[in-house]
Chains A and B, each alone.
Chain A
Amino acid sequence: MASWHTCSMGRRVPRGPRAVAGGLVAAAAIAVFVSAGKTDVIRAQVRDDLPATSNDLRLARTQNSPLLLADPTNPRFVVLAHRLDAPTFGCGLQVSGDGGRTYVPAEPVPELPEGAEKCYSPEVAFDGNGTLYYLFVGLHGRGNTPMGIFLTTSSDRARTFTKPIKVLDAGNYQTRMVIDPTVDDQGRIHLVWLHTTADPPTGGLPPPPNPILTAYSDDGGKTFSEPLEITDPERPRAVAPAVALGADGALHVVYYDLQGDARDYQGLRGPTWTGTWSVVVKSSSDRRRRFSPAVVVSDDVVPPERVLLIYTMPPPAIAADEDDLYVAWHDARNDDWDVFLSRSSDAGQSWSAPTRVNDDEIRNGRHQYLPDLSVAPDGRVDVIFYDRRRDPENVRNDVYYAYSDDGGRTFSENLRLTSESSDSRTGQRYLVPSGQGRGDVGSRISVLAHEDAAVAAWGDSRNVLLAPYSDVFATEIVLSRERGAGGAWSKVGVLAAATAVCAATVLVWRRRRLSRSRSAGESTEVPRDTAELGTQE
């Protein structure tokens, strides 16, 4: 005897076909669920690395410390500001019209300001209109004494620049700049710097206090607000600030607290400090510049070596998006040097435990150092760093790249960006007590995250003939997002779901049609076996 039950429309439909249709729909749901559960995978492809600066043995130059930045009105326009350490101190600017793949030179300071003999240590920022701001230190005298911080701007993609204006007096170092484009028409220029309260000795800072200060300008740098001290009195040896803008224009400043390390702070003779430093972040609650107390990112920063020159000490790297804030640095807590990253999801009020970014064997005696990071519009976190994993002598530098697609919790396999290693011992040598004649590879390297690519730049001495000599090299990492291990699964899943739904629909429709035709005849009952055969009535 066939079995029946009543459907919601009051018509009787055979239970067997309904069960089959229900099963098919369930199968479709499972297929969609399974395929949807598979995560995306980012495929990274490194393009050939190319020189981003030129060189000429008639006047061999040491070029390093690049800083990459994209024009917010057209990300294909990318600028690369960099330091020159030899034959004399200087600053450079390279510009790109293809998103940072290749570069040609620009001349931001054709005429030095009165009293300055050299330009040094440039910083760059764009406002919301695409105007480029170029900040630099003016040096004078045989001792390269800083005589002020100057600002010049360009509104024609670095073809011409305004006459530099002085924005800070002598005695100020490590100046960083960031522009909040959402304030008024010109945007708000934030400066953060280290202020010395006495004449510094050679190679070091005067004894504390030498506070980190901040000020802003709403008129394109013509005037600035009263400087505000952002270091806490209980952290008197705060150095090497870096700055990022977070959500709602909040200003985040990261720096090292050298704690009791007066040797590096003041550039005194002696071995590497055996205590620890701290990485510390101060955050403003909003644009009103109310700063919260300092928050420690890590208290276990084991100094990797003597600070070469405190004025050019590499800062920790910092980057932010609407949701999260990231800080990266390197230290020797694992004996050799490793790169670490911490994340804050509450605007700098608390920080995750550090994640080791480099994926070589731990404690293998090879250094990873000088990281930089950048956050893509989709939240991908890109990190690059110098890396000596390929050299058993731990001397030759490569540059490696890693990304995180889960907010810095885990990192991808590290990718080598350099096609050739270069000697880390080349570069300007400093005759200061802390320097001990070591070469300087620069105070930063730079990565710039785009939606589907990242560009990276670093100081590179592969072409060196006579030290000091180095170039800046750059490359592009092309990133494509694909369905993960389930790339094939997702296609099969969707196909299976579509097939199952179609089959279920046809089955139910045909049963209902059969049911109606039967009810018009002598009996409303259809034997179960006939119903299942469908067309054989």
Chain B
Amino acid sequence: MTRSCTTTATGGGLRRGMVRATAVVVAVLMLVSCRPEIGPRPQSRSPLPPTPEFVEVTMDEYRFDYRRPVPPGRVIFTVHNEGSLDHELVLVALPERVAVPRKRRRQPQLVATVFHVRPRPPDSERKFAVDLTPGDYAMLCFIEASDGETHLDKGMRSEFRVR
């Protein structure tokens, strides 16, 4: 009986203790939640802007190498000349159903130049950014080789599609 009473008394104490502890926790939580905000209040929940795409282009005799596909939007091109000759990069937007000729034509077809990396010496680099919209593009090099052919004639051209 005594043990029983003692046990009851202990259980009651425990319960009271738990109730008090819970009350203290609730009070602290209420105080914390009511505390005025300190410092700037972020209003904007919008995500941060994306980073632009980076495309590394390697120029060599006689080709352009780069990762595909090239995405739409802001693209930063880093162009390295890893060849032993000067090279240029003329980035053109191709109208629909116009392909880059394998040889320079006598009557060249006008296409819009998006960007022109002027002739660069070996082991040099140039960076530029363009905002690409979906469509067909090409990289071309019109520098004339010592035999009179252009680098384009020798195959230095590359087409890509931005979707």
A residues adjacent to B (C-beta < 8 A): 48-58, 71-74, 76-77, 95-98, 102-106, 128-131, 155-159, 181, 419, 463, 465, 471
Distance of A53 Cα from B112 Cα, bound (Å): 20
Decide if B131 touches A54 in the complex (CB within 8 Å): yes
Residues 94-110 of B, flagged 1 when their CB comes within 8 A of A and 0 if not, give: 00000000000000000
Given contacts A54-B130, A57-B116, 11 further A-B contacts (CB under 8 A): A50-B127, A53-B129, A56-B115, A72-B40, A97-B50, A104-B74, A129-B44, A157-B48, A157-B49, A159-B46, A463-B128
| A to B contact number (C-beta, < 8 Å) | 104
B126 contacts A by Cβ under 8 Å: yes
Taking CB atoms, residues of chain B closer than 8 Å to A102 are 51-52, 76
B43 in contact (CB, < 8 A): yes
* Residue B118 lies at the interface, judged by CB distance under 8 Å to chain A: yes
- Contact B44 A157, beta carbon cutoff 8 Å: yes
Asked whether A130 lies within 8 Å of B40 as measured between CB atoms, the reply is yes
Q: How many Å from the CB of B63 to the closest CB on chain A? A: 23
Is there contact, CB below 8 Å, between A129 and B46?
no
Q: Is the CB of A95 within 8 A of B49?
A: yes
Contact A50 B76 (CB under 8 A): yes
Q: Given A129-B42, A129-B43, A157-B44, A57 and B114 touching (CB < 8 A)?
A: yes
With a cutoff of 8 Å between Cβ atoms, the chain B residues found around residue A465 in the complex are 116, 118
- State A49–B126 Cα separation when bound (angstroms): 11
Complex Cα distance, B40 from A103, in Å, reads 24
Say whether B41 faces chain A, with CB atoms less than 8 Å apart: yes
- Known contacts A129-B41, A131-B43; A58/B48 CB under 8 A: no
**A73-B42 CB under 8 A given contacts A54-B74, A97-B49:** yes
Q: How far is the CA of A95 from the CA of B46 in the complex (A)?
A: 13
Q: Is the CB of A97 within 8 A of B74?
A: no
Interface of B is mostly: strand
Collect the chain B residues with CB atoms within 8 Å of residue A97's CB.
47-51
Q: Kindly provide the distance from the CB of A422 to the nearest chain B CB, expressed in whole angstroms.
A: 12
A51 touches B41 (CB 8 A): no
A71 to B47, CA, bound (A): 13
**Chain A contacts for B118, CB-based, 8 A:** 465
Which chain B positions have C-beta within 8 A of A58? 93, 112-114
Chain A residues with CB below 8 A from B50, complex form:
97, 104
Task: Determine if B48 and A77 form an interchain contact, defined as CB atoms under 8 angstroms apart.
Answer: yes
Contacts of A96 in B (CB 8 A): 49
The verdict on B73 contacting chain A, using a C-beta distance below 8 Å, is yes
Q: Which residue of B lies closest to A99 (CB)?
A: B48
Q: Are B49 and A73 in contact (CB under 8 A)?
A: no
Q: A129, B40: Cβ atoms under 8 Å?
A: yes
Kindly list the 4 A-B residue pairs having the minimum CB-CB distance in the complex, ordered from nearest: A97-B48, A129-B43, A73-B42, A51-B129
Q: Across the interface, name the chain A residue whose C-beta is closest to B124.
A: A420
Cα distance A398–B24 in the bound complex, in angstroms? 64
Task: Using known A-B contacts A104-B52, A104-B73, determine if residue A51 contacts B128 with beta carbons closer than 8 Å.
Answer: yes
B51→A56 contact, CB < 8 A: no
Query: Cβ of A103: which chain B residues have Cβ within 8 Å of it?
Result: 49, 52, 74
**A401 to B76 CA separation, bound complex (whole angstroms):** 24
Contact check: which of A52, A54, A55, A104 meets B49 at CB < 8 Å? A104
Assembly CA distance A51 to B76 (angstroms) = 7
B51 touches A104 (CB 8 A): yes
| B117: A residues at CB distance < 8 A | 463
Q: Give 20 CB contacts A-B under 8 Å.
A: A49-B127, A51-B128, A54-B129, A54-B130, A55-B129, A58-B112, A58-B114, A74-B42, A97-B48, A102-B52, A103-B49, A103-B52, A104-B50, A104-B51, A104-B73, A105-B74, A129-B40, A156-B44, A157-B44, A463-B126
CB distance from A471 to the nearest CB of B (A): 7
- Interfacial chain A residues near B116, Cβ < 8 Å: 57, 465
B49–A155 CB distance below 8 A = no
How many Å from the CB of B37 to the closest CB on chain A? Answer: 11
Whether the pair B43, A73 counts as a contact (CB closer than 8 A) is yes
Please give, as numbers and ranges, the residues of chain B lying within 8 Å of A51 by CB-CB distance.
76, 127-129
For A129, give the chain B residue with the smallest CB separation: B43
Complex contacts, B73 vs chain A, CB 8 Å: 104
Flag if A158 contacts B49 (CB, 8 Å). yes
B151 to chain A, nearest CB (A): 19
Chain B 125-163 per-residue mask, 1 if CB under 8 angstroms from chain A, else 0: 111111100000000000000000000000000000000
